[in-house]
Amino acid sequence: MAEVVGGFATSHILMSSSGVEDKAGRVTKGMAEIGRRIQALSPDVIMVVTNDHLFNFGLDLQVPFAIGTADAYTPLGDLEVPQIERPGHRPFAEEFLSYAAEAGFDLARAESLRPDHGVSVPMLFADPSNTVPLVPLYLNLMMDPMPSPKRCWTLGETFADFVERRCSTVDRVVVLAAGGLSHWVGYEPKVNEAWDRQFLADLEAGQFLGWAGRSKDEILEAAGNGGLEVINWLFMAAAVRAQKSETIYYEAIPEWMTGMGGIEAV
C-alpha cells in the first residue's frame, strides 16, 4: 500500500511587506522551508486540506466536505497568484472518495474548481515546478452548520486508513493543511498572539486530541472566524498519525490581519 510520507501546515496568505519587512521575510523563509521539505520527500501527490472562501462553494451550495476529482486545476488568481494550470490526480481522488463513503463520510465530488489562495499560495512553495499532482480537499469552515473539529479529525484518521489499507494509485503522499492562525475576516484587523503560541506549543507537545475535542465556538471566540482554519491542521495531524510537531515559523502580523504560522507534524 501507499504511505503518508509528510504532513505540514501553513498559513495561506502573503501580503505587502511594506512596514513589516523583517516579519514578512521570516514568513516567506518559513514557507520556503516547508516547500523545500516537501520537495525532498518526492511525493506522488499532494493533498491540500483547505477551506474555500466562497469562490467555489457559496451560499447556494453548502457541503460539509468536498474533494477535487479533476484532471487539472487553474488557480483563481486572487492575491496575484499566477493562473498556471496544475495537474490533478483523478484516480487517487476517486479512490479516496469511494473509501470515505464506505467509512461513513459522503464527500461531494468537485469536477470543476478554480482554487483560490487557500490552495494556490501554499502550492507556490510546495511545488514551484507545477508538476506534482494536486488533490484539494475542502472542509466547510465558512458556513453553518460546520463539521465539528472532532468530525474533521475522524475524517483525517479515515484518510490515514485509506492510504495504509486501500490506496493503489500512488506510493508517496504528502498532506498539506492550509489556513490560520488567528484572524477575524470582515472585522477590525487583530491577532491573538497568545492563543496562536499556545496552539503551536500544544501541537509541539502532541496534544492534538485535546484540540480535536474542542468546540468550533471555543475556537471562534478566541481566534476569530479565520482561526477556524486550524481545523484543517487537525485533519492533517490525524492523517499522518502525528505524535508531535515542529514549529517552522510564527509571526504575529496585524498589518496582514493574521497570525502567520507553519509546522511539520511527525
Model pLDDT for residues 257-266, shown as the tens digit of each residue: 999 999 999 9
pLDDT digits (tens, 9 = 90+) for 238-254: 999 999 999 999 999 99
List Cα–Cα distances, 150 to 29, 33, 126, 214, in angstroms.
Answer: 32, 30, 27, 8
The more confidently predicted of residues 52 and 138 is 138
For residue 256, what is its C-alpha cell? 496582514
Q: Give the domain range for residue 252.
A: 3-265
pLDDT digits (tens, 9 = 90+) for 3-36: 999 999 999 989 899 999 999 999 999 999 999 9
CATH number at residue 210: 3.40.830.10
Reported pTM: 0.96
For residue 152, what is its C-alpha cell? 474533521
With a cut of 80, say whether residue 225 has pLDDT above it.
Answer: yes
Q: Once rounded to an integer, what is the mean pLDDT over residues 117-125?
A: 92
pLDDT digits (tens, 9 = 90+) for 174-210: 999 999 999 998 787 789 999 999 999 999 999 999 9
Total number of domains in the chain: 1
Query: What are 264's strand-pairing partners?
Result: 8, 246
Nearest to 97 by CA among 68, 58, 122, 70: 68
With a cut of 80, say whether residue 94 has pLDDT above it.
Answer: yes
**What does the pLDDT read at residue 76?**
82
For residue 201, what is its C-alpha cell? 506549543
**Strands 258-265 and 3-10: what pairing?**
antiparallel
